[in-house]
Amino acid sequence: MQSIVGWMVIHCPRDGDEAEHFKITSGEGSVYKFLAATPTASLWAQKLQATAASHNPKVPENLIHFH
């Protein structure tokens, strides 16, 4: 499993012959393109944008963590 925190998610609406899709760009510059049925691409892009913008740091296992 790969974290997408900090990655960029771009929704690309249908344009001419090109189907609606979304792209995910990694911090290293890799671009992944995903095709999805309308209006699903928009929903996927929204959910992935929220995930990419979130920040959930992990607590090191060797430290005591109090809530």
Instruction: Please give the pLDDT value at position 3.
Output: 85
Domain residue spans in the chain? 1-67
* Cβ-proximal residues to 9 (8 Å cutoff; 6+ apart), any chain: 22, 23, 24, 25, 45, 48, 49, 52
**Residue numbers in the chain where pLDDT is lower than 50:** none
Q: What is the pLDDT of residue 55?
A: 72
CB of 24 closer than 8 Å to CB of 9: yes
* Strand arrangement, sheet containing 21-25: 8-12, 21-25, 31-35
Distance, in Å, from the CA atom of 16 to the CA atom of 1, rounded to the nearest integer, reads 34
Give the model's pLDDT for residue 2. Answer: 83
